[in-house]
Amino acid sequence: MDDSRIIKTEYSEVMQKSYIDYAMSVIIARALPDVRDGLKPVQRRTLYDMHELGIRHDRPYRKSARIVGDTMGKYHPHGDSSIYEALVVMTQEFKKGMPLVDGHGNFGNIEGDGAAAMRYTEARLQKVTQEAFLADLDKNVVDFIPNFDETEKEPSVLPAKVPNLLVNGSEGIAVGMATSIPPHNLSEVIDAAKAYMNNPDITTEELMRYVKGPDFPTGGIVINKDELLSIYETGTGKIKIRGKVETEKGKGGKTNLVITQIPYPMIGANIGKFLSDVANLAETKKTQDIVDISNQSSKEGIRIVIELKKDADVHNFVNMLYKKTRLEDTFGVNMLAISGGRPETMGLRQIIKENVDFQFEVARRKYKTLLEKEQERKEVQEGLIKACNVIDLIIEILRGSKDRAMVKACLVDGKTDPVKFKYKESKIMAAQLRFTEKQANAILDMRLYKLIGLELEALIKEHEETMANIYRYEDILERRDSMAMVIMNELDAMKKEYGRPRRTVIENGEEAVYEEKKIEEMEVMCLIDRFGYVKTVDMPTYERNKESADAENKYVFPCKNTGRICVFTNTGQLHTIKVQDLPFGKFRDKGVPLDNVSNYSAEKERIVLAVSQSRLNMHRVIFGTKLSMVKTVDGGEFDVTKRTVAATKLQDGDEVVSVAVWKEQTDIVLRTVGGYFLRFPIEEIPEKKKSAVGVRGMKLGNKDYVENIYYIQNTEEQLIEYKEKTMELNKLKAGKRDSKGTKPRG
């Protein structure tokens, strides 16, 4: 290969440049909307393609697959799913303040069910989209740019007549940045735009007299009214929103809570999550007021009914829903959009300013184009009127000329020599005609019926209208006030036809405060079987079934129903579980797997000890591991509320063999897989922190390890089964910690 063609460069520089190019492409050309029309490229291209295909609001629906395919082939080569998804969202009334596409078929629902495949659904433009976004595209109001393969032209922006970025909001994730703009009320946004036109120095606070706050299509109640000014000034912040709850009388004197509006972030799968969260409140005994819950939502709207007991405190229960479920949620605002070709976070005033400036630019280009057309029309009309007055002369020129070019030369430049005239006076008059090129063409194309008196009157009337239009267009172009009046009239027409009442209530809501009903404290028995299923029963139940309970379960211990239990595992982890979270009931109930109520994983770890947390607080805890590391730890170190903490530190390849609460035990016995036993006093084990490894308990031979650990109390005989023989641990000779131990005879 020729060396002159090899370009040597730093790899990191290439990566950096390539990634920045990619990031900017995603930011500008995919993920973020333009502040002027409030649309992302995929939305803009889809609407323009529908406009080009003639799928108007008053025409039949067309298959979504046709629209998607045409858009992808002409303007947006990024895959059909992204185009169809954009089309679907533009039809959904529960997501958009003002849907731009009229969908026919299954376009999904508020509960998160997806739309049908594009081959089944049909769509067409909404009337508002044609009037507010696609009108005047033929009047040179926006720049057209080449498409991806330079075979078509597409608008760089649509000439939106309303601040769509605010009306419909936008959500998008780019590279290193994201946008999240809530929808607003069309009428309020139009009023704010008009107020800005009347006073360009208007403040955000003054604009908020018109734009009260977001207006979500799902309604709801915004409860942090006082924080909205800061959010709309900076373009960032958090809007707190609650669902709307009403009460109805139920059967038998019961109260039904009916949720008729939900927070905007709840739409989709979060409705199902809300229902399961409410059911979970009943299952975990957080409340005992719920009798039943049902989702009766339909096309008419949201209706979630919670049936409460007769004596339920409704106000307290509603506050609990706000606190414990997504009935109160936050909408993170980050008003990021493309302005002047670059991403920028903007406040309310800047978004309205950019839109109004764009409206003036569109109006300037529109009326400049209209003026040019009227001036051309005026030129032609004046030529035809003048021609009608000297029609006999023109007929004489026509009859005396050999071809069209000769006639034009006479009419435009006064060249009379080649033309044969009947009268000398005609030649003199013809030399003075001086029509323009356009006038001459119009005269030559003129039909004879135009010479009828009524037609001539209509021509003169048309000329008067043209002159009036020219005067009007010049006035609009020369005076900002006149142009502002035209724009305002258009905005008023939009507001009158498409405005609707506000759905979301804006107020300063009180903090949701609810009192948890105090649980009557009592002692219960915790039972964990060898399969890791856990449950609690009351003491009388345990006493009646003591023999079975002790035989069938691996861990049986008392605890308070208001406390926690501690589960130590062979991996050195400690899992703490609220006793309240454990099922409480009948002795023969199976219970639930520990995995369901804690971070414990039956596949990855095994229980070494389960005990009440309150019992640990009063004692020291003994640890012994496979590699014979031992230590004692103050039980108070395990008085934690985190679900999972490290109970001890382990060396590589080590695991916990035994954890025991040190109460009356005097000696510890370590037994290895090789058959060595070592007995020594527990007092020889030093106290360490839970984060320490510990000290060596016994010296291990090659490939030997501790298999089991036993504890001896002086007053009790301690028997174990070892190699099919019964062995009495009390008779083992006591040794010293960190010695090798002995092998028993026989």
Closest C-alpha to 644, from 573, 739, 708? 573
Rounded Cα distance between 259 and 166, Å, is: 27
Burial of 134 (0-12, 13-18, 19+ CB in 10 A): buried
Q: According to the 3-state scheme, what is the secondary structure of 249-313?
A: ECHHHCEEEEEEECCHHHCCCHHHHHHHHHHHHHHCCCCCCEEEEEECCECCECCEEEEECCCCC
Using CA atoms, how far residue 57 sits from 50, 54, 110, 186, in Å, is 10, 9, 24, 20
- 595 and 601 in contact (C-beta within 8 Å)? yes
DSSP class of residue 454?
H
CA 177 to chain centre: 13
CA dihedral (583, 588, 590, 594) positive or negative: positive
Amino acid at site 188: E
Q: 22, 120, 423, 471: which is the annotated catalytic residue?
A: 120
| 668 token code pair | 């510890």
Residues 6+ apart with CB under 8 A from 494: 128, 131, 132, 161, 162, 186, 190
Q: Which pair of tokens denotes residue 157?
A: 């922006």
120 catalytic residue (yes or no): yes
SS3 241: strand
Measured N-to-C along each axis, helices 80-89 and 64-74 cross at an angle, to the nearest 10 degrees, of 120
Strand partners, 560: 523
- Give me 384's structure tokens: 């035809």
Rounded to the nearest 10 degrees, the angle between the axes of helix 80-89 and helix 41-53 is: 80
| Rounded Cα gap, residues 181 and 274, in angstroms | 24
Catalytic residues: 120
